[in-house]
Structure 1
Amino acid sequence: MEIKIDDLTGSEVIALVSEHLHGMTLHSPPESIHALNLEALRKPEITFWSVWEGDQLVGCGALKEIDRQHGEIKSMRTSSSHLRKGVAKQLLEYIIEVAKQRGYRRLSLETGSMDAFEPAKRLYASIGFQYCKPFSNYIEDPNSVFMTKEL
């Protein structure tokens, strides 16, 4: 697998981000969706990566800088045809290494509290993320869970 910084202009990446956003609408009420659209993912404080296996897009993810010591994982998505092949785990480990290189002391994330998000929560927990209170601009929400990892 090849992980590379992406400018979010390729049709495959646009389709995967759209799939990600649509998936959020299936499981979360609108006020509880914190997924970012293409425009938001292009902001300077966000680095977006695509994951490729040959010429096939297999996943994506992003890292948002909250401040010089704290990053947030955003837009983690595995292509539906590549689920359970280790794509998300490999990308998550890569993002953690980048965060350490940047000098972050902590990585956090928000995900849904519903059953559909259980595989993601298990993955994050398996890599050392622990449940926490809302961070940054998030507020308590029964449809969200928050996780963090000290680096």
Structure 2
Amino acid sequence: MEIRIDDLTGKEVAQLLQEHHQDMLDHTPAESVHSLDISGLKAPDVTFWSAWIEGELAGCGAIKVIESGHAELKSMRTSSTHLRQGVAQRLLTYIITAAQQQGITKMSLETGTPDSFIPAQKLYRDFGFNECAPFADYCEDPYSLYMTKELG
């Protein structure tokens, strides 16, 4: 698998992000969906990666710097054709290492609470993320689960 910083100009990436956003809307009320659109992912405080297997987009993920040393994991998504093949684990490992190289010592995230988010919740717990209070601009929301991890 090749993981690289992506400029978000490719149609495959745009389609995967649209699929990601639509999936969020299918399981969560719009006011509780916090995925970034392409312009949000192009912000200077965001680093976005795409993962490719034999020329096919396998997944993506990003970090958004919240404050010095603290970043939020954003837009983690595995392509439907690459589910259950270890893409998310490999991508998250890569992103955490890259974040540490950028001086990030704490990573937080927001994910959903409906049953469709259980695989994501399990992935994050397996990586040592623990539940926490809302961070940054988030508020208590029954559709949101907040998690954080000290990167050391």
TM norm structure 2: 0.98
CA RMSD in angstroms comes to: 0.6
Q: Which runs of 4+ in 1 moved over 6 A?
A: none
1:68 equivalent in structure 2: 68
Unaligned runs of 5+ in 1: none
**In 2, Cα distance between equivalents of 1:24 and 1:41:** 16
Q: Identity rate of aligned residues, in percent?
A: 56
Encode CA deviations 1:108-145: one digit per residue, 9 max, x unaligned: 00000110000000000001000000001100000000
Residue 110 of structure 2 is matched in structure 1 by 110
Which residue is equivalent to 2:128? 128
How far does the alpha carbon of each residue in 1:56-96 deviate from its partner, in whole angstroms, 9 at most, with x for none? 00000001111111010000000001101000111101111
TM-score by length of 1: 0.98
> 1:14 matched to which residue of 2?
14
2:149 alignment partner, SS class? strand
SS of 2:99's equivalent in the other structure is: helix
In the aligned structure 2, how far is the partner of 1:104 from the partner of 1:69? 4
Match of 2:96 in 1: 96
Alignment size in residue pairs: 151
**What is the rounded CA distance, in whole Å, between the counterparts of 1:146 and 1:113 in structure 2?**
10
Gaps of 5+ in 2: none
**Cα distance in 2, alignment partners of residues 94 and 14 from structure 1:** 21
